[in-house]
Structure 1
Amino acid sequence: MAEQRRKDLLDEHRPENIARRLQQQPKSQKVSDFVLGAIDGCVTTFAVVSGAFGAGFSPLVVLVLGFANLIADGFSMAVSNYEAVNAEREYRELARRTEERHIELVPEGEREEIRQIFANKGFGGETLEKIVATITANRQLWVETMLTEEYGLNSTRYSPVTSALVTFAAFIAVGAIPLLPFLMPFLAQQTQFVASTVLAALMFLCIGMLKSLVYSQPILRAGFSTLLLGGGAASLAYVTGYLLRQLFGIDAA
Protein backbone atom coordinates (compact mmCIF):
# COMPACT_ATOMS: atom_id res chain seq x y z
CA MET A 1 0.00 0.00 0.00
CA ALA A 2 2.75 2.45 0.96
CA GLU A 3 4.68 1.59 -2.20
CA GLN A 4 1.60 2.20 -4.33
CA ARG A 5 1.02 5.60 -2.69
CA ARG A 6 4.64 6.51 -3.42
CA LYS A 7 4.21 5.52 -7.08
CA ASP A 8 1.02 7.59 -7.29
CA LEU A 9 2.83 10.60 -5.81
CA LEU A 10 5.71 10.20 -8.24
CA ASP A 11 3.24 10.06 -11.12
CA GLU A 12 1.44 13.19 -9.86
CA HIS A 13 4.75 15.05 -9.75
CA ARG A 14 5.84 14.34 -13.30
CA PRO A 15 6.45 17.67 -15.09
CA GLU A 16 3.46 17.34 -17.42
CA ASN A 17 1.09 16.42 -14.56
CA ILE A 18 2.36 19.29 -12.42
CA ALA A 19 1.80 21.72 -15.29
CA ARG A 20 -1.73 20.41 -15.85
CA ARG A 21 -2.58 20.62 -12.15
CA LEU A 22 -1.29 24.18 -11.81
CA GLN A 23 -3.41 25.27 -14.76
CA GLN A 24 -6.59 24.06 -13.09
CA GLN A 25 -8.90 26.58 -11.50
CA PRO A 26 -9.17 26.54 -7.69
CA LYS A 27 -12.07 24.62 -6.19
CA SER A 28 -15.25 26.50 -6.88
CA GLN A 29 -16.65 28.75 -4.19
CA LYS A 30 -20.04 27.41 -5.24
CA VAL A 31 -19.31 24.17 -3.41
CA SER A 32 -18.61 26.01 -0.16
CA ASP A 33 -21.72 28.16 -0.64
CA PHE A 34 -23.84 25.07 -1.29
CA VAL A 35 -22.51 23.22 1.76
CA LEU A 36 -23.00 26.31 3.93
CA GLY A 37 -26.59 26.81 2.79
CA ALA A 38 -27.50 23.12 2.89
CA ILE A 39 -26.16 22.48 6.38
CA ASP A 40 -27.70 25.63 7.85
CA GLY A 41 -30.99 25.04 6.05
CA CYS A 42 -31.33 21.49 7.36
CA VAL A 43 -30.13 22.35 10.86
CA THR A 44 -32.36 25.38 11.38
CA THR A 45 -35.47 23.85 9.82
CA PHE A 46 -35.19 20.58 11.67
CA ALA A 47 -34.45 22.51 14.86
CA VAL A 48 -37.77 24.32 14.39
CA VAL A 49 -39.51 20.98 13.73
CA SER A 50 -37.95 19.45 16.86
CA GLY A 51 -38.74 22.44 19.03
CA ALA A 52 -42.35 22.63 17.83
CA PHE A 53 -42.86 18.89 18.23
CA GLY A 54 -41.28 18.95 21.68
CA ALA A 55 -43.64 21.76 22.62
CA GLY A 56 -46.61 19.64 21.52
CA PHE A 57 -47.70 21.81 18.58
CA SER A 58 -49.91 20.37 15.86
CA PRO A 59 -48.52 19.34 12.44
CA LEU A 60 -50.08 22.47 10.90
CA VAL A 61 -48.23 24.72 13.35
CA VAL A 62 -45.02 22.79 12.66
CA LEU A 63 -45.49 23.43 8.94
CA VAL A 64 -46.22 27.13 9.38
CA LEU A 65 -43.23 27.68 11.66
CA GLY A 66 -41.00 25.51 9.50
CA PHE A 67 -41.74 27.18 6.17
CA ALA A 68 -41.74 30.67 7.65
CA ASN A 69 -38.32 29.98 9.15
CA LEU A 70 -37.16 28.38 5.90
CA ILE A 71 -37.90 31.43 3.75
CA ALA A 72 -36.83 34.08 6.26
CA ASP A 73 -33.61 32.41 7.38
CA GLY A 74 -32.72 31.37 3.82
CA PHE A 75 -33.04 34.95 2.63
CA SER A 76 -31.12 36.23 5.64
CA MET A 77 -28.26 33.79 5.05
CA ALA A 78 -28.13 34.63 1.34
CA VAL A 79 -27.93 38.35 2.11
CA SER A 80 -25.24 37.75 4.72
CA ASN A 81 -23.17 35.68 2.30
CA TYR A 82 -23.61 38.31 -0.40
CA GLU A 83 -22.39 41.04 1.94
CA ALA A 84 -19.42 38.96 3.09
CA VAL A 85 -18.23 38.10 -0.43
CA ASN A 86 -18.90 41.63 -1.68
CA ALA A 87 -16.98 43.15 1.24
CA GLU A 88 -14.00 40.91 0.48
CA ARG A 89 -14.13 41.88 -3.18
CA GLU A 90 -14.33 45.59 -2.35
CA TYR A 91 -11.44 45.29 0.07
CA ARG A 92 -9.34 43.60 -2.59
CA GLU A 93 -10.10 46.36 -5.11
CA LEU A 94 -9.26 49.02 -2.54
CA ALA A 95 -5.95 47.28 -1.79
CA ARG A 96 -5.24 47.02 -5.52
CA ARG A 97 -5.81 50.72 -6.09
CA THR A 98 -3.66 51.54 -3.07
CA GLU A 99 -0.76 49.45 -4.35
CA GLU A 100 -1.04 50.83 -7.88
CA ARG A 101 -0.91 54.36 -6.47
CA HIS A 102 2.06 53.54 -4.27
CA ILE A 103 3.95 51.98 -7.16
CA GLU A 104 3.27 55.10 -9.18
CA LEU A 105 4.33 57.56 -6.45
CA VAL A 106 7.09 55.69 -4.57
CA PRO A 107 8.34 52.89 -6.83
CA GLU A 108 11.63 52.49 -4.97
CA GLY A 109 9.82 52.06 -1.67
CA GLU A 110 7.52 49.41 -3.18
CA ARG A 111 10.54 47.73 -4.77
CA GLU A 112 12.16 47.58 -1.35
CA GLU A 113 9.03 45.95 0.04
CA ILE A 114 9.34 43.20 -2.57
CA ARG A 115 13.01 42.82 -1.70
CA GLN A 116 12.30 42.45 2.02
CA ILE A 117 9.38 40.09 1.47
CA PHE A 118 11.53 37.63 -0.45
CA ALA A 119 14.55 38.19 1.77
CA ASN A 120 12.37 37.02 4.65
CA LYS A 121 11.67 33.87 2.65
CA GLY A 122 15.39 33.08 2.64
CA PHE A 123 16.53 34.54 -0.69
CA GLY A 124 19.60 36.72 -0.88
CA GLY A 125 22.37 38.16 -3.02
CA GLU A 126 22.11 37.98 -6.78
CA THR A 127 19.18 35.57 -6.65
CA LEU A 128 17.15 38.01 -4.57
CA GLU A 129 17.92 40.91 -6.91
CA LYS A 130 16.84 38.84 -9.93
CA ILE A 131 13.55 38.02 -8.22
CA VAL A 132 12.96 41.70 -7.41
CA ALA A 133 13.84 42.76 -10.95
CA THR A 134 11.60 40.11 -12.52
CA ILE A 135 8.55 40.94 -10.38
CA THR A 136 8.85 44.73 -10.61
CA ALA A 137 9.34 44.60 -14.38
CA ASN A 138 5.69 43.53 -14.74
CA ARG A 139 3.21 45.96 -13.19
CA GLN A 140 0.36 43.44 -12.92
CA LEU A 141 2.64 40.78 -11.39
CA TRP A 142 4.02 43.41 -9.01
CA VAL A 143 0.56 44.41 -7.78
CA GLU A 144 -0.66 40.81 -7.49
CA THR A 145 2.45 39.86 -5.53
CA MET A 146 1.86 42.71 -3.09
CA LEU A 147 -1.79 41.76 -2.67
CA THR A 148 -0.83 38.18 -1.88
CA GLU A 149 2.26 38.77 0.24
CA GLU A 150 1.43 42.01 2.05
CA TYR A 151 -2.36 41.76 2.38
CA GLY A 152 -2.74 37.98 2.34
CA LEU A 153 -5.44 38.18 -0.34
CA ASN A 154 -6.27 35.25 -2.58
CA SER A 155 -6.14 35.93 -6.31
CA THR A 156 -9.35 33.98 -6.90
CA ARG A 157 -12.36 36.24 -7.39
CA TYR A 158 -15.91 35.27 -6.52
CA SER A 159 -19.29 36.68 -7.50
CA PRO A 160 -21.36 37.85 -4.50
CA VAL A 161 -24.60 37.40 -6.46
CA THR A 162 -23.74 33.82 -7.40
CA SER A 163 -22.70 33.02 -3.83
CA ALA A 164 -25.97 34.41 -2.49
CA LEU A 165 -28.13 32.52 -5.01
CA VAL A 166 -26.35 29.20 -4.45
CA THR A 167 -26.62 29.59 -0.67
CA PHE A 168 -30.32 30.47 -0.87
CA ALA A 169 -31.14 27.61 -3.27
CA ALA A 170 -29.29 25.06 -1.13
CA PHE A 171 -30.92 26.37 2.05
CA ILE A 172 -34.44 26.08 0.59
CA ALA A 173 -33.94 22.77 -1.22
CA VAL A 174 -32.32 20.87 1.65
CA GLY A 175 -34.09 22.72 4.45
CA ALA A 176 -37.51 21.80 3.07
CA ILE A 177 -36.84 18.06 3.23
CA PRO A 178 -37.48 17.62 7.01
CA LEU A 179 -40.87 19.29 6.50
CA LEU A 180 -42.09 16.84 3.85
CA PRO A 181 -43.58 14.25 6.26
CA PHE A 182 -45.76 16.96 7.81
CA LEU A 183 -47.38 17.46 4.40
CA MET A 184 -48.80 13.92 4.73
CA PRO A 185 -51.89 14.26 6.98
CA PHE A 186 -52.63 10.52 6.78
CA LEU A 187 -49.56 9.86 8.98
CA ALA A 188 -49.72 10.04 12.76
CA GLN A 189 -47.80 13.00 14.20
CA GLN A 190 -45.32 10.71 15.92
CA THR A 191 -44.66 8.96 12.61
CA GLN A 192 -44.27 12.31 10.87
CA PHE A 193 -41.61 13.35 13.37
CA VAL A 194 -39.75 10.04 13.10
CA ALA A 195 -39.79 10.29 9.30
CA SER A 196 -38.58 13.89 9.49
CA THR A 197 -35.75 12.81 11.80
CA VAL A 198 -34.65 10.07 9.40
CA LEU A 199 -34.72 12.43 6.42
CA ALA A 200 -32.76 15.10 8.28
CA ALA A 201 -30.16 12.53 9.36
CA LEU A 202 -29.77 11.37 5.76
CA MET A 203 -29.31 14.97 4.63
CA PHE A 204 -26.63 15.60 7.26
CA LEU A 205 -24.79 12.44 6.21
CA CYS A 206 -25.01 13.28 2.50
CA ILE A 207 -23.83 16.87 3.00
CA GLY A 208 -20.91 15.73 5.10
CA MET A 209 -19.97 13.09 2.54
CA LEU A 210 -20.21 15.64 -0.28
CA LYS A 211 -17.92 17.96 1.64
CA SER A 212 -15.46 15.13 2.19
CA LEU A 213 -15.33 14.28 -1.52
CA VAL A 214 -14.65 17.88 -2.49
CA TYR A 215 -12.04 18.56 0.17
CA SER A 216 -10.45 15.09 0.28
CA GLN A 217 -11.55 14.19 3.81
CA PRO A 218 -12.49 10.73 5.15
CA ILE A 219 -16.05 10.17 3.92
CA LEU A 220 -17.59 8.46 6.93
CA ARG A 221 -15.91 10.72 9.47
CA ALA A 222 -17.08 13.86 7.66
CA GLY A 223 -20.58 12.46 7.27
CA PHE A 224 -21.01 11.46 10.90
CA SER A 225 -19.38 14.69 12.08
CA THR A 226 -22.01 16.72 10.23
CA LEU A 227 -24.72 14.35 11.50
CA LEU A 228 -23.62 14.87 15.11
CA LEU A 229 -23.56 18.66 14.72
CA GLY A 230 -27.03 18.74 13.20
CA GLY A 231 -28.38 16.21 15.69
CA GLY A 232 -26.99 18.22 18.57
CA ALA A 233 -28.73 21.40 17.41
CA ALA A 234 -32.02 19.56 16.91
CA SER A 235 -31.77 17.90 20.33
CA LEU A 236 -31.27 21.26 22.02
CA ALA A 237 -34.31 22.63 20.20
CA TYR A 238 -36.43 19.62 21.17
CA VAL A 239 -35.42 19.82 24.83
CA THR A 240 -36.07 23.57 24.87
CA GLY A 241 -39.52 23.11 23.37
CA TYR A 242 -40.37 20.31 25.79
CA LEU A 243 -39.20 22.27 28.83
CA LEU A 244 -41.16 25.35 27.79
CA ARG A 245 -44.22 23.16 27.26
CA GLN A 246 -43.91 21.82 30.79
CA LEU A 247 -43.13 25.22 32.27
CA PHE A 248 -46.05 27.09 30.69
CA GLY A 249 -48.46 24.20 30.34
CA ILE A 250 -48.68 24.51 26.54
CA ASP A 251 -51.29 22.30 24.96
CA ALA A 252 -51.42 23.09 21.23
CA ALA A 253 -52.09 19.63 19.89
Structure 2
Amino acid sequence: MSKPTRESLAHEHHPEAIRRRLNTAETPRTLPDAILGGIDGCVTTFAVVSGAFGAGFSSTVALVLGVANLLADGFSMAISNFEAIQAEREYIEDVSRSERRHIDLVPEGEREEIRQIFQRKGFSGETLERVVETLTQNREVWVETMLKEEHGLQPAGLSPWRSALATFLAFMTVGAMPLIPYAFHGMGATRQFAASLAIAALMFFLIGMGKSLVYHRPILRSGLRTLLMGGAAAGLAFATGHLAQLLFGIDI
Protein backbone atom coordinates (compact mmCIF):
# COMPACT_ATOMS: atom_id res chain seq x y z
CA MET A 1 0.00 0.00 0.00
CA SER A 2 1.34 3.43 -0.96
CA LYS A 3 2.19 5.81 1.82
CA PRO A 4 0.06 8.97 2.17
CA THR A 5 1.61 12.15 0.84
CA ARG A 6 2.39 15.19 2.95
CA GLU A 7 -0.46 17.07 1.24
CA SER A 8 -3.05 14.37 1.98
CA LEU A 9 -1.93 14.15 5.60
CA ALA A 10 -2.11 17.94 5.93
CA HIS A 11 -5.67 17.85 4.58
CA GLU A 12 -6.67 15.08 7.02
CA HIS A 13 -5.19 17.07 9.92
CA HIS A 14 -6.92 20.34 9.12
CA PRO A 15 -8.81 21.55 12.23
CA GLU A 16 -12.20 21.12 10.55
CA ALA A 17 -11.33 17.60 9.29
CA ILE A 18 -10.17 16.61 12.77
CA ARG A 19 -13.36 18.02 14.29
CA ARG A 20 -15.57 16.04 11.92
CA ARG A 21 -13.60 12.85 12.55
CA LEU A 22 -13.76 13.17 16.33
CA ASN A 23 -17.46 14.08 16.28
CA THR A 24 -18.33 11.00 14.25
CA ALA A 25 -19.90 8.38 16.50
CA GLU A 26 -17.82 5.24 16.77
CA THR A 27 -19.57 2.38 15.02
CA PRO A 28 -19.26 -1.26 16.07
CA ARG A 29 -16.35 -2.98 14.36
CA THR A 30 -17.76 -6.00 12.57
CA LEU A 31 -14.88 -6.68 10.17
CA PRO A 32 -12.88 -8.81 12.67
CA ASP A 33 -16.05 -10.85 13.32
CA ALA A 34 -16.62 -11.32 9.59
CA ILE A 35 -13.00 -12.34 8.99
CA LEU A 36 -13.11 -14.83 11.84
CA GLY A 37 -16.44 -16.22 10.69
CA GLY A 38 -15.31 -16.53 7.07
CA ILE A 39 -12.07 -18.31 7.90
CA ASP A 40 -13.69 -20.63 10.42
CA GLY A 41 -16.57 -21.41 8.06
CA CYS A 42 -14.25 -22.36 5.23
CA VAL A 43 -12.02 -24.38 7.54
CA THR A 44 -15.00 -26.18 9.07
CA THR A 45 -16.68 -27.28 5.86
CA PHE A 46 -13.51 -28.10 3.96
CA ALA A 47 -12.21 -30.03 6.95
CA VAL A 48 -15.38 -32.12 6.81
CA VAL A 49 -14.95 -32.61 3.06
CA SER A 50 -11.28 -33.55 3.50
CA GLY A 51 -12.02 -35.96 6.31
CA ALA A 52 -14.82 -37.59 4.32
CA PHE A 53 -12.63 -37.93 1.22
CA GLY A 54 -9.74 -39.27 3.26
CA ALA A 55 -12.04 -41.83 4.87
CA GLY A 56 -13.45 -42.87 1.50
CA PHE A 57 -17.01 -41.64 2.08
CA SER A 58 -19.29 -40.93 -0.86
CA SER A 59 -19.91 -37.40 -2.13
CA THR A 60 -23.47 -37.53 -0.77
CA VAL A 61 -22.21 -38.29 2.72
CA ALA A 62 -19.63 -35.50 2.42
CA LEU A 63 -22.33 -33.03 1.33
CA VAL A 64 -24.72 -33.99 4.13
CA LEU A 65 -21.99 -33.79 6.77
CA GLY A 66 -20.75 -30.50 5.34
CA VAL A 67 -24.18 -28.83 5.34
CA ALA A 68 -24.97 -30.12 8.83
CA ASN A 69 -21.68 -28.81 10.19
CA LEU A 70 -22.11 -25.54 8.34
CA LEU A 71 -25.48 -24.82 9.95
CA ALA A 72 -24.67 -26.12 13.42
CA ASP A 73 -21.21 -24.59 13.71
CA GLY A 74 -22.28 -21.29 12.14
CA PHE A 75 -25.11 -20.90 14.64
CA SER A 76 -22.91 -22.01 17.53
CA MET A 77 -20.15 -19.59 16.60
CA ALA A 78 -22.59 -16.68 16.25
CA ILE A 79 -24.13 -17.44 19.64
CA SER A 80 -20.70 -17.74 21.24
CA ASN A 81 -19.63 -14.40 19.79
CA PHE A 82 -22.89 -12.81 20.97
CA GLU A 83 -22.38 -14.11 24.49
CA ALA A 84 -18.75 -12.98 24.56
CA ILE A 85 -19.56 -9.41 23.47
CA GLN A 86 -22.57 -9.26 25.78
CA ALA A 87 -20.46 -10.44 28.72
CA GLU A 88 -17.86 -7.79 27.94
CA ARG A 89 -20.55 -5.09 27.82
CA GLU A 90 -21.98 -6.23 31.14
CA TYR A 91 -18.53 -6.22 32.70
CA ILE A 92 -17.91 -2.68 31.49
CA GLU A 93 -21.26 -1.60 32.90
CA ASP A 94 -20.39 -3.18 36.27
CA VAL A 95 -17.01 -1.43 36.37
CA SER A 96 -18.67 1.84 35.37
CA ARG A 97 -21.18 1.56 38.21
CA SER A 98 -18.37 0.75 40.62
CA GLU A 99 -16.38 3.82 39.54
CA ARG A 100 -19.43 6.06 39.94
CA ARG A 101 -19.94 4.73 43.44
CA HIS A 102 -16.27 5.32 44.28
CA ILE A 103 -16.55 8.90 43.02
CA ASP A 104 -19.55 9.44 45.30
CA LEU A 105 -17.93 7.88 48.37
CA VAL A 106 -14.25 8.75 48.04
CA PRO A 107 -13.92 11.55 45.46
CA GLU A 108 -10.47 12.63 46.68
CA GLY A 109 -9.19 9.10 46.32
CA GLU A 110 -10.50 8.95 42.75
CA ARG A 111 -8.90 12.32 41.99
CA GLU A 112 -5.62 10.93 43.28
CA GLU A 113 -5.94 8.02 40.88
CA ILE A 114 -6.40 10.48 38.00
CA ARG A 115 -3.44 12.47 39.27
CA GLN A 116 -1.13 9.47 39.39
CA ILE A 117 -2.31 8.16 36.00
CA PHE A 118 -1.38 11.40 34.28
CA GLN A 119 1.71 11.86 36.37
CA ARG A 120 2.98 8.61 34.87
CA LYS A 121 2.33 10.11 31.44
CA GLY A 122 4.77 12.93 32.19
CA PHE A 123 2.51 15.68 33.57
CA SER A 124 3.61 17.51 36.69
CA GLY A 125 3.13 20.66 38.75
CA GLU A 126 0.40 23.12 37.83
CA THR A 127 -0.18 21.45 34.47
CA LEU A 128 -0.96 18.16 36.18
CA GLU A 129 -3.35 19.82 38.63
CA ARG A 130 -5.18 21.57 35.78
CA VAL A 131 -5.57 18.25 33.99
CA VAL A 132 -6.98 16.64 37.16
CA GLU A 133 -9.33 19.56 37.78
CA THR A 134 -10.57 19.60 34.20
CA LEU A 135 -11.22 15.85 33.96
CA THR A 136 -12.97 15.61 37.32
CA GLN A 137 -15.33 18.51 36.62
CA ASN A 138 -17.39 16.34 34.27
CA ARG A 139 -18.62 13.13 35.89
CA GLU A 140 -19.06 11.25 32.60
CA VAL A 141 -15.59 12.22 31.37
CA TRP A 142 -14.20 11.24 34.76
CA VAL A 143 -15.77 7.77 34.63
CA GLU A 144 -14.81 7.23 30.99
CA THR A 145 -11.23 8.21 31.74
CA MET A 146 -11.06 5.72 34.61
CA LEU A 147 -12.49 2.96 32.42
CA LYS A 148 -9.88 3.51 29.73
CA GLU A 149 -6.83 4.47 31.76
CA GLU A 150 -7.21 2.36 34.92
CA HIS A 151 -9.02 -0.69 33.58
CA GLY A 152 -8.02 -0.65 29.90
CA LEU A 153 -11.66 -0.92 28.75
CA GLN A 154 -13.16 0.55 25.58
CA PRO A 155 -16.91 0.95 26.13
CA ALA A 156 -17.68 2.18 22.59
CA GLY A 157 -18.19 -0.01 19.53
CA LEU A 158 -19.60 -3.14 21.21
CA SER A 159 -22.73 -4.59 19.62
CA PRO A 160 -23.52 -8.25 20.39
CA TRP A 161 -26.23 -8.56 17.75
CA ARG A 162 -24.16 -6.94 15.00
CA SER A 163 -21.12 -9.08 15.83
CA ALA A 164 -23.18 -12.29 15.92
CA LEU A 165 -24.88 -11.49 12.61
CA ALA A 166 -21.59 -10.60 10.89
CA THR A 167 -20.03 -13.83 12.14
CA PHE A 168 -22.98 -15.98 11.05
CA LEU A 169 -23.34 -14.47 7.57
CA ALA A 170 -19.62 -14.68 6.83
CA PHE A 171 -19.47 -18.24 8.19
CA MET A 172 -22.40 -19.39 6.05
CA THR A 173 -21.36 -17.56 2.88
CA VAL A 174 -17.70 -18.51 2.79
CA GLY A 175 -18.25 -21.90 4.39
CA ALA A 176 -20.71 -22.93 1.69
CA MET A 177 -18.19 -22.41 -1.10
CA PRO A 178 -16.20 -25.67 -0.69
CA LEU A 179 -19.48 -27.63 -0.76
CA ILE A 180 -20.57 -26.40 -4.20
CA PRO A 181 -18.77 -29.14 -6.21
CA TYR A 182 -20.54 -31.80 -4.14
CA ALA A 183 -23.89 -30.63 -5.47
CA PHE A 184 -22.84 -31.97 -8.89
CA HIS A 185 -22.90 -35.77 -8.57
CA GLY A 186 -21.63 -36.47 -12.06
CA MET A 187 -18.15 -35.08 -11.40
CA GLY A 188 -16.74 -38.05 -9.50
CA ALA A 189 -15.31 -38.04 -5.99
CA THR A 190 -11.75 -37.13 -6.95
CA ARG A 191 -12.75 -34.25 -9.21
CA GLN A 192 -15.22 -33.00 -6.61
CA PHE A 193 -12.53 -32.97 -3.95
CA ALA A 194 -10.04 -31.25 -6.27
CA ALA A 195 -12.57 -28.56 -7.13
CA SER A 196 -13.46 -28.10 -3.47
CA LEU A 197 -9.77 -27.84 -2.65
CA ALA A 198 -9.27 -25.14 -5.29
CA ILE A 199 -12.30 -23.16 -4.08
CA ALA A 200 -11.23 -23.39 -0.43
CA ALA A 201 -7.71 -22.26 -1.31
CA LEU A 202 -9.14 -19.31 -3.24
CA MET A 203 -11.40 -18.36 -0.32
CA PHE A 204 -8.51 -18.46 2.15
CA PHE A 205 -6.35 -16.37 -0.14
CA LEU A 206 -9.08 -13.80 -0.83
CA ILE A 207 -9.87 -13.44 2.88
CA GLY A 208 -6.21 -12.85 3.58
CA MET A 209 -6.01 -10.28 0.80
CA GLY A 210 -9.13 -8.48 2.03
CA LYS A 211 -7.75 -8.42 5.54
CA SER A 212 -4.52 -6.90 4.31
CA LEU A 213 -6.33 -4.11 2.46
CA VAL A 214 -8.23 -3.10 5.59
CA TYR A 215 -5.33 -3.38 8.03
CA HIS A 216 -2.70 -2.09 5.59
CA ARG A 217 -0.54 -5.20 5.44
CA PRO A 218 1.33 -6.71 2.45
CA ILE A 219 -1.35 -8.28 0.26
CA LEU A 220 0.51 -11.35 -0.98
CA ARG A 221 2.01 -12.20 2.40
CA SER A 222 -1.34 -11.92 4.17
CA GLY A 223 -3.10 -14.01 1.52
CA LEU A 224 -0.48 -16.76 1.64
CA ARG A 225 -0.46 -16.76 5.44
CA THR A 226 -4.23 -17.29 5.63
CA LEU A 227 -3.99 -19.93 2.89
CA LEU A 228 -1.32 -21.85 4.79
CA MET A 229 -3.28 -21.76 8.06
CA GLY A 230 -6.46 -22.99 6.38
CA GLY A 231 -4.54 -25.62 4.42
CA ALA A 232 -2.94 -26.93 7.59
CA ALA A 233 -6.36 -27.42 9.21
CA ALA A 234 -7.71 -29.16 6.11
CA GLY A 235 -4.62 -31.37 5.86
CA LEU A 236 -5.06 -32.44 9.46
CA ALA A 237 -8.68 -33.36 8.81
CA PHE A 238 -7.73 -35.37 5.70
CA ALA A 239 -5.02 -37.25 7.59
CA THR A 240 -7.44 -37.98 10.43
CA GLY A 241 -10.07 -39.35 8.06
CA HIS A 242 -7.55 -41.49 6.22
CA LEU A 243 -6.14 -42.80 9.51
CA ALA A 244 -9.64 -43.66 10.70
CA GLN A 245 -10.20 -45.62 7.50
CA LEU A 246 -7.04 -47.63 8.10
CA LEU A 247 -7.66 -48.21 11.81
CA PHE A 248 -11.34 -49.10 11.69
CA GLY A 249 -11.47 -50.71 8.27
CA ILE A 250 -14.05 -48.34 6.84
CA ASP A 251 -14.97 -49.47 3.35
CA ILE A 252 -17.48 -47.49 1.34
The TM-score range, normalised by the shorter chain, is: over 0.9
5+ residue gaps, structure 2, are none
Per the TM alignment, residue 33 of structure 1 is displaced from its structure 2 partner at its CA by 1.1
Cα–Cα, structure 1 residues 111 and 81, in superposed 2: closer, same or farther, change >3 Å?
A: same
Matches for 1:35-114 after TM superposition, within 5 Å: 35-114=35-114
Between stretches 240-249 and 130-139, larger displacement belongs to: 240-249
Write the distance in 2 (CA, Å) between the matches of 1:248 and 1:40: 29
Per the TM alignment, residue 92 of structure 1 is displaced from its structure 2 partner at its CA by 0.4
Q: Please say if residues 29 and 157 of structure 2, whose CA atoms lie closer than 8 Å, have aligned partners that are also in contact.
A: no
Identity of aligned residues (%): 61
Matches for 1:20-31 after TM superposition, within 5 Å: 20-26=20-26, 28-31=28-31
2:183 match: 183
1:124 match: 124
Matches for 1:188-227 after TM superposition, within 5 Å: 188-227=188-227
Cα–Cα, structure 1 residues 135 and 223, in superposed 2: closer, same or farther, change >3 Å?
A: same
Q: Please say if residues 89 and 157 of structure 1, whose CA atoms lie closer than 8 Å, have aligned partners that are also in contact.
A: no
Per the TM alignment, residue 158 of structure 1 is displaced from its structure 2 partner at its CA by 1.5
Per the TM alignment, residue 25 of structure 1 is displaced from its structure 2 partner at its CA by 5.0
Cα–Cα, structure 1 residues 250 and 12, in superposed 2: closer, same or farther, change >3 Å?
A: same
**How does the TM-score come out when normalised to structure 1?**
0.93
Per the TM alignment, residue 239 of structure 1 is displaced from its structure 2 partner at its CA by 1.1
Write the distance in 2 (CA, Å) between the matches of 1:224 and 1:11: 35
Cα–Cα, structure 1 residues 3 and 165, in superposed 2: closer, same or farther, change >3 Å?
A: closer
Q: Please say if residues 46 and 200 of structure 1, whose CA atoms lie closer than 8 Å, have aligned partners that are also in contact.
A: yes
Cα–Cα, structure 1 residues 209 and 33, in superposed 2: closer, same or farther, change >3 Å?
A: same
Per the TM alignment, residue 238 of structure 1 is displaced from its structure 2 partner at its CA by 0.7
2:46 is aligned with what amino acid? F
Write the distance in 2 (CA, Å) between the matches of 1:154 and 1:148: 6
Deviations 1:74-108 (A, max 9, x none): 11111110111001000000011001111111111
1:166 match: 166
Between stretches 58-67 and 21-30, larger displacement belongs to: 21-30
Write the distance in 1 (CA, Å) between the matches of 2:23 and 2:141: 17
Write the distance in 2 (CA, Å) between the matches of 1:4 and 1:237: 44
Residues paired across the two proteins, number: 251
2:146 match: 146
Between stretches 191-200 and 164-173, larger displacement belongs to: 164-173
Per the TM alignment, residue 222 of structure 1 is displaced from its structure 2 partner at its CA by 1.1
SS of 2:30's equivalent in the other structure is helix
Between stretches 121-130 and 63-72, larger displacement belongs to: 63-72
Write the distance in 2 (CA, Å) between the matches of 1:74 and 1:197: 20
Write the distance in 1 (CA, Å) between the matches of 2:216 and 2:17: 19
Q: Please say if residues 28 and 157 of structure 2, whose CA atoms lie closer than 8 Å, have aligned partners that are also in contact.
A: no
Per the TM alignment, residue 19 of structure 1 is displaced from its structure 2 partner at its CA by 3.6
5+ residue gaps, structure 1, are none
Per the TM alignment, residue 14 of structure 1 is displaced from its structure 2 partner at its CA by 4.0
SS of 2:187's equivalent in the other structure is coil
Residue 133 of structure 1 pairs with residue 133 of structure 2: yes
Q: Please say if residues 41 and 172 of structure 1, whose CA atoms lie closer than 8 Å, have aligned partners that are also in contact.
A: yes
SS of 1:151's equivalent in the other structure is coil
2:62 is aligned with what amino acid? V
SS of 2:186's equivalent in the other structure is coil
Write the distance in 2 (CA, Å) between the matches of 1:27 and 1:205: 27
Between stretches 11-20 and 45-54, larger displacement belongs to: 11-20
Cα–Cα, structure 1 residues 114 and 10, in superposed 2: closer, same or farther, change >3 Å?
A: same
